[in-house]
Structure 1
Amino acid sequence: MLETIGAILTDHGLTILAILLLIGLSAFFSGSETALTAASRARMHSLQTNGDQRAATVTALIERRDRLIGALLIGNNLVNILASALATSVLLSIFGDSGVAVATLTMTLLLVVFAEVLPKSWAISAPDRFAMTVAPLVRMFVLVVGPLSSFVNLIVRQLMSLFGVTFASENSMLSAHEEIRGAVDLAHREGSVVKADRDRLGGLLDLGELEVSDVMIHRTSMRMLNADETPEANVRAVLESPYTRMPVWRGSTDNIIGIVHAKDVLRVLAEVGNEPHRMDVVKIAQKPWFVPDTTSVPDQLNAFLRRKAHIAIVVDEYGEVEGLVTLEDILEEIVGDIADEHDAEVQGVRQEADGSIVVDGSVPIRDLNRALDWSLPDDEATTVAGLVIHESQTIPEEKQAFTFHGKRFIVMKRDRNRITRLRIRPADKV
């Protein structure tokens, strides 16, 4: 047996060595393809910014992904075919006609284990490090084989066009925001990103889809001052309010004539010797700022920063007041509720002992989703009550129940045409 093996090595030693070398090259191409396609572009960009030349090489390679993949596939197939041909010639000389079958089985086993599964598993376990290690060698290979790869890609595109299939440009089918959101959600499910961080990033990405009407305080919840009230009553209202800025109206709540800042009230109150009857709230009010309800939240945020303002009155297309929006309302869309020592403790959401949730009708759907990790749609309605009315296509009566989006909504209280309180529980636990 040893003599037979020795004879084989003597007669075919160089060929066997060449086969092993080709299998190694096949492993290199397979691992490189996996690593370079799985490498994080964001991490490569960060490392490149910090001066890492290998990361810069990786970035340059994956910018032309079709050329890269084509070159690696050409190299991989070339060495695989050559290795199989050499193995077949060796085994034919040893086993005769049955050498073809032996060569097929042997090379399939060797290539699958050592040239496919092993290098790809290694590469996918640490794609960034693997990609930066092989990038210089791959770059040289792509420079040599790249023109051939481009020619092959051209032929493929022409052939596919005959069947009506066209290749899109290099742009991803997903927007940058969708890619970031998907990455954050995946990282959250894997436990590497906590829920609070995921919500903040999600809130930031969602800003572009929101209008001020989605985040404003509705007119029914606004706390305002009546210019025709006595100065004493208005000063008391300012001091008792949890807000530092309050709109002032005269004649009608649609006729807002100014915005009063609590600091200005205190300053003037001190100037008049703490005698409120000597004050005129209208005179210390600042000019109100009106914005359309269709203004996008990012535009409104930029306008707040540009004007160094904190509050704006939201009006509809007819100029009627719909509500007000503050800088804090927009910031809360990113960071969640900003509670201070004057905020009310009750936020309109209460967990019951039976597992159900009691919710005020005015609670925004986005806040409920964020608090309970739900996914109720907020495209057609802003509040929970609005969602129930939209889905039921009616104004429900008390004790009416509806099931949609995997939840059971029960109307607990209604005030005229407004749903003021609901109970929500999972639909499968009704």
Structure 2
Amino acid sequence: MTDVLLGFLTEYWLSLLSVICLLVISAFFSGSETALTAASRSRMHTLENNGEERAGMVTRLIERRDRLIGTLLIGNNLVNILASSLTTSLLIGLFGDSGVAIATVAMTVLLVIFSEVLPKSWAIASPDRFALAVAPWVRPFVAVVGPVSSLVNAIVRRILHLFGINLSSDLPMLTAHEELRGAVNLLHREGSVIKADRDRLGGVLDLGELEVSDVMIHRTGMRAINADDPPQTCVREILESPFTRLPLWRGSADNIIGVVHSKDLLRALAEPNVEPETLDIVKIAQKPWFVPDSTNLKDQLNAFLRRKLHLAIVVDEYGQVQGLVTLEDILEEIVGDIADEHDIDIQGVRQEADGSIVVDGSVPIRDLNRALDWSLPDEEATTVAGLVIHESKSIPEERQAFTFYGKRFTVMKRVKNRITKLRIRAAEDEGQVG
């Protein structure tokens, strides 16, 4: 009788100890899954470059995220099922058929608290540190069980394919630019990144999406020199201009024959026996560089740097001059021209006492968004006037008002077919067009 009782107690404690060990292993799998999927790839890359071997393990594990998650889920489910089976068997021996219900309730509570919520909360609180700690233990398990996980993933993909759902492990849900933009916006909302830095980083990411036509100085606002004017007139215009480079045209504004640099002009005037009245402006002008208006800003910036030039003439598909773009125009898309993140300090924008904003029609939408932290769309129009014309599907009259995107736009001044000044204020009802 004593031997039977001793054997029962031994079996009881062994089973109980096994269940506790299985719960610990289950917690390990749950925490590892959370930490490894939430770990920062950029931080792991930095640590790996600094000689941290475990960071390299983490990087290689999360490169095949679907295989990693599948492996950890297989291990987690195996130990959970085994722990539940042992507990059920143990409690049936103690309480009979009612042991099944007791085991179900007990294991549900234990698994939820100690194998799911607790380890996952711990892991998500410091995912990078947790991932580094578990990587050496997870790697051999993935190496052994990984092929089974790949088989399971293949079966899952085949089943989903039958329902018309195709999963690709090669294509990420977000591009690298979208991930960076999302991370920067999140850090800005959390207060870790100030608005000015967010705008600069966003400007870099936007370069590939913007075209030269979005930032160029339009031909209506372009200052240029007429080569047929008297030389002294050309010299005076160049020296009085705030710009160091000016296009040179002859016959018509579409016939750009060169670009005059003020330094080249000063060097020429410093030559012996050279007077403004006898200077040949055409000879000191550099050859003009023409670029299509559809060139994206990333390519144009690289071209500026490669050619070591600062100005290009923008033409449309028919070769007609549309304006000019400078290296500074592109750099301003990155650094912006906002002196203070709360003050309005862009040309053509004025804050009124009643809270409204008076803007010139030629103000770019992107500049207004960056200055006021608005989100007016700039896909269909570049300027504020263009946005109003696009949304109203007409050329509005003076004092005509429209409401869209949560703002009320009132046309204050129009010259011929150009809207030159508008008043913008917050709208009470968003989405209306009046």
Q: Which shifted more, 68-77 or 113-122? A: 68-77
Deviations 1:366-390 (A, max 9, x none): 1111111111111111111111111
Distance 1:403 1:98, change over 3 A: same
Instruction: Could you tell me which runs of 5 or more consecutive residues in structure 2 were left unpaired when the two chains were aligned.
Output: 1-5, 340-344
Residue 23 in structure 1 maps to residue 36 in structure 2:
no
Matched residue, 2:70: 70
Give 1:279's aligned amino acid: L
Residue equivalent to 2:3: none
Identity level (%): 73
Counting matched residue pairs gives: 420
Shifted more, 376-385 versus 260-269: the winner is 260-269
Q: Distance in 1 between matches of 2:281 and 2:159?
A: 78
Q: Distance in 2 between matches of 1:378 and 1:303?
A: 25
In terms of mean alpha carbon deviation, does 212-221 or 142-151 score higher? Answer: 142-151
Aligned to 1:271: 271
AA aligned to 1:413 is: K
Residue equivalent to 1:200: 200
When residues 165 and 294 of structure 1 are mapped into structure 2, their CA distance, relative to the original with a 3 A threshold, is closer
User: In 2 relative to 1, CA 283–274 (structure 1 residues): closer, same or farther, beyond 3 Å?
Assistant: closer
Deviations 1:199-248 (A, max 9, x none): 11111111111221111100111111122223332222222211100112
Q: Distance in 1 between matches of 2:247 and 2:11?
A: 98
Deviates more, 1:275-284 or 1:117-126: 275-284
CA separation in 1, counterparts of 2:150 and 2:228?
79
Letter paired with 2:63: E
Structure 2: distance between partners of 1:405 and 1:415: 25
> Any idea what the Cα deviations from partners look like across 1:132-191, whole Å, max 9, x if unmatched?
110110111112212222222222223333333322233212221111111111111111
The offset of 1:421, in angstroms, is 0.8
The reply to whether residue 134 of structure 1 matches residue 134 of structure 2 is yes
Which residue matches 1:310?
A: 310
Counterpart secondary structure, 2:277: helix
Supply the AA of the counterpart residue of 1:173: M
Query: CA offsets per residue over residues 95-139 of structure 1, 9 Å max, x none?
Result: 222221111111111111111000000001111110111011011
2:95 paired with 1:95: yes
What does residue 49 of structure 2 align with? 49
* AA of the residue aligned to 1:183: A
Residue 331 of structure 1: CA displacement?
1.1
Cα drift, residue 429 of structure 1? 8.0
Q: Name the aligned partner's letter for residue 262 of structure 2.
A: A
Please give the TM-score of this superposition, normalised by the length of structure 2: 0.92
Greater CA drift, 232-241 or 258-267: 232-241
Q: Which moved more, 1:262-271 or 1:189-198?
A: 262-271
Q: Distance in 1 between matches of 2:66 and 2:291?
A: 48
The residue that corresponds to 1:228 in the other structure is 228
Question: 1:293–1:164: structure 2 CA closer, same or farther, 3 Å change rule?
Answer: closer
The aligned residue for residue 362 of structure 1 is: 362
Q: TM-score, normalised by structure 1?
A: 0.93
Separation of aligned partners in 2, 1:168 and 1:267: 63
> For the residues of structure 2 that align with 1:370 and 1:72, how far apart are their CA atoms?
45
Counterpart of 1:378, as a letter, is: D
What does the per-residue CA deviation read over 1:351-379, in whole Å, with 9 as the maximum and x for residues that have no partner?
A: 11111111111111111111111111111
Q: CA deviation at 1:272?
A: 5.5
CA contact (8 A) 2:365 2:382 kept: yes
1:284 aligned residue: 284
Conserved 8 A contact 1:235-1:276:
yes
User: Which residue identity is paired with 2:292?
Assistant: P
Match of 2:216 in 1: 216
Secondary structure of residue in 1 paired with 2:428: helix
Residue in 2 that maps onto 1:348: 348
More displaced 10-residue stretch of structure 1: 10-19 or 103-112: 10-19
Where 2:424 maps in the other structure, the secondary structure is strand
Alpha-carbon separation, structure 2, partners of 1:164 and 1:229: 71
Q: Do the aligned partners of 1:332 and 1:338 also contact (CA within 8 Å) in 2?
A: no
Return the offset for 1:11.
Answer: 5.6
Q: Which residue of 2 aligns with 1:246?
A: 246
Equivalent in the alignment of 1:322: 322
* Segment of structure 1 superposing worse, 27-36 or 303-312: 303-312
Partners of 1:272 and 1:279 within 8 A in 2: no
**Counterpart mapping for 1:102-113 below 5 A:** 102-113=102-113
Partners of 1:327 and 1:429 lie apart in 2 by: 41
**Shift of residue 425, structure 1, vs aligned partner:** 1.1
CA separation of 1:217/1:26 partners in 2, compared to 1, >3 Å: closer, same or farther?
A: same
Tell me how far 1:10 sits from its aligned partner.
5.5
Matched, 1:178 2:178: yes
Q: CA deviation at 1:192?
A: 1.2
Give the Cα separation in 2 of the matches to 1:102 and 1:308.
79
Structure 2 CA distance for partners of 1:272 and 1:237, relative to 1, 3 Å: farther
Task: Indicate the residue corresponding to 1:342 in structure 2.
Answer: none
Per the alignment, residue 405 of structure 1 pairs with 405
> What is the alpha-carbon root mean square deviation over aligned residues?
2.1
Shift of residue 346 of structure 1?
6.0
Deviation readout 1:73-98 (Å, 9 max, x if unpaired): 11111111111111122222222222
Aligned partners of 1:293 and 1:315 also within 8 Å: yes
Q: Is the 8 A contact 1:258 1:285 kept in 2?
A: yes
Q: CA separation in 2, counterparts of 1:190 and 1:311?
A: 40
Task: Give SS of 2:208's match.
Answer: helix
Residue of structure 2 in register with 1:390 after alignment: 390
